[in-house]
Structures are given as structure tokens and as C-alpha cells.
Amino acid sequence: MAQSFDVCIRGAGVVGRTLSLLLARERLRVALVPGPAPAAGGPDVRAYALNTASRGLLESVRSWPDAEHATPVLRMDVHGDMGGEVTFDAQRHPATEALAWIVDVPALEARLADAVRFQPQVEVVDAPVQAALTVVCEGRASRTREEFGVHYDEVPYGQHAVATRLRCERPHGQVARQWFLPDGILAFLPLEGPEGNSVAVVWSVRQDEAQRLLAMEPTDFEQRIHAASQDTLGAVTLDAPRAAWPLQQARADRWCGPMAATAGGPAQGKPKAAPARSWVLAGDAAHAVHPLAGQGLNLGLADAQGLARVLRERDYWRSVADLKLLRHYERERKAALLPMGWAMDGLQQLFSRNEGPVPWLRNWGMRGFERSGLVKDWVTRQAMGLG
């Protein structure tokens, strides 16, 4: 007999797997469809900055990585290009032990895969199956989103993120560091626990500069990044291959809708109406922001948590395909994303311009923000997921 499913999730990345575990807790039968296998290549050099809210969510589905794969960030130092500086310190926020945790992507994905494997309410399937609700978690290049006729408004920044791993002469001290430079934004994210001297690098630069950085000999790249990081951690050595991808801000115009109805077979000479079915978007399939604040996955996990909560709190007589529920989720998440999207886009635009008095003004603004007290604390709490 064919298996009956309540929800079909297309995309088995971090957001898709987390959502499947959340829905399984509500006794919903979930089909999880993996996306295309990644192209063969070297080790995955990505790392996620996850906030307190994301950690709590992943712990609730027993998928938080071991300590060596989740390094707490106790402080973040942000440096402008003309002396402006901002420091964020976890000690000012006793409700949590860290500003964020830098998490290895493969370790997190492995924990989620194990949790899914031992969850009887979730079945990994080879192809999409019919279900009352289809959730699209396929990322920004989603084909299913296109099939549903959703317009994905992409605004390219003209930048690429160059990512790799470095071994540093001095330990990172559980400090995340970011430099706003005339030619891009450089970030060092601490790895391998409190005593580690390894960092994940994300360097946002123009597309032509990204190609030059990728083509450099290792020693030349090390010297370039050592100079850009102002010798903060001493000499650096490449510890992984380099990778790059384009940066953009993007938003789907619709996040949910009805699926085309199909008539069932005849019953005693009368046509049988098919039950209502709907679709909804989550994660990068719905939105994308600049990585300069490391909020991309936090926003995607908040989508999963918000959708699961809306479905959990529905009236007993409502189906998971009820469009009223799904539109409530869409409105709620769009409202939460709006200030973050504006902030990330504004900062990117501000630090990509160097004409006239702009550099002086932005560094003056950084110094003012550093002294702003309650405003700075409020911004920090929002980024930590404590708002």
C-alpha cells in the first residue's frame, strides 16, 4: 500500500531537515526529498554563525554538534577603514553564554541526518510525493519555486564571497573579527574550540577581485590576507581550498499558494473531488541577505520554527494545507525579515562606496554607535535571537 504523507519537504539541507524533525514531533507524516548531490570537490569550507535562538532550536531536535564543531564567540571586533571600531561583548548579556557559535557545516548536517534516520515519522524519498502540504527548502536556485510560478526578485551586489580556512600563528581567543576595507569586507570566524588557532574566512569582494584571489599562489594569498587582517593573529597558513559564490539580496514575491487540484476517480458515477493541497517556501528559497552579519541560516531556521508553530497551533479542524495558516506564517516572517534586510543592504551599500566624504561619515557613525549604549545593546540582542 502506498504511504500517505501530510507534508512533503523538497530539500534536505539544514532548514529542510530541521523542519522535518519539528513536524514529526507533531505526529505529522513527513516525506523528505534530498536535492541534487553536490558536485565532487574538496572539503566543505563553509561555517555558520548560529545565534542563541538557533542553538536552542537545534538542541530541541537533538542535533546540536559536539563542542569541537561549535566554537562559542565571546566577543566580536569590527574595524572600519578609517579608525572606526565597534566591539560586541557577550559579558554585557548574561542571559546567554556567547554572542554566537561558529559551527562546521558538515558536522551539523551529519547530526541532522542521524536525527532524521532515527525519526520514524520522517521518510527520505527519492522523488516528490503527493501530500497535503509541500514545503520548498531547496535554496536560492530552487526549481520547484519556478514551477509554482513564483518570482524571485534578485538584486546582485556585484560581489563574490571568497571562503577558506586558515591556521594562525596566534589563537583566536574566541573572538570573531571583521574588517570593512576599501576593497571589501573580511571576516575571521573562530574554529576548533576555545583554544583553537583556526579560523573560517569569508571575504566579500568585487567579482574580478574574487577571481584574482582564487588564482593566487597560496603564499601570495596568505601574504595578502595577513596584510588585510592587520597582523591580528600573526602569520597565517592556508588550511583548505578556496571557494567562491556570488552575493545578492533576494526575496520571493509569494511564499505560499494552492497547488493545482487533480480530480480523483469516479465513485458510483459521481466525480470525486481531490483534497486541497498547498505549497509554502522556507529558508533561502524564500529570501537571501548579505552574509556580513552571518544571519542567513538563523533566518532560515526561524522560518522552520515559525511554520512548525503555526501548524502546531492550528484549530483541530484545519488541514496543514489551509491557506489562512500559511498566509499568517508568510506575513509574520516577512515582517521579521524586513528590518534585517534593510540593515544588511544599507551596510553593504555604505561600505561599498568610497567617494567624497562617505568613508569619513561611516567611520564617524561606527564611533557613535560604539558609544550608543542601549541602542547597541538592543541591536546585539536582535542578532543573538533574544529580541
CA distance linking residue 131 with residue 8, whole number of Å: 6
Q: Is the pLDDT of residue 322 over 50?
A: yes
Q: Is the pLDDT of residue 274 over 70?
A: no
What pLDDT does residue 356 have? 55
What pLDDT does residue 336 have? 85
Confidence bin at 293 (pLDDT 50/70/90): low
Q: What is the pLDDT of residues 98-112, one digit of tens each?
A: 889 999 989 999 999
Q: Is the pLDDT of residue 172 over 80?
A: yes
CA distance linking residue 259 with residue 371, whole number of Å: 52
What pLDDT does residue 216 have? 96
CA distance linking residue 339 with residue 335, whole number of Å: 8
What pLDDT does residue 30 have? 97
- What average pLDDT score do residues 124-130 get? 94
Which of 64-73, 85-94, 262-271 has the lowest average pLDDT? Answer: 262-271
Q: Decide which of 23 and 262 is more confident.
A: 23
- What average pLDDT score do residues 303-331 get? 96
What pLDDT does residue 128 have? 94
- What average pLDDT score do residues 10-35 get? 96
Q: Is the pLDDT of residue 264 over 50?
A: no
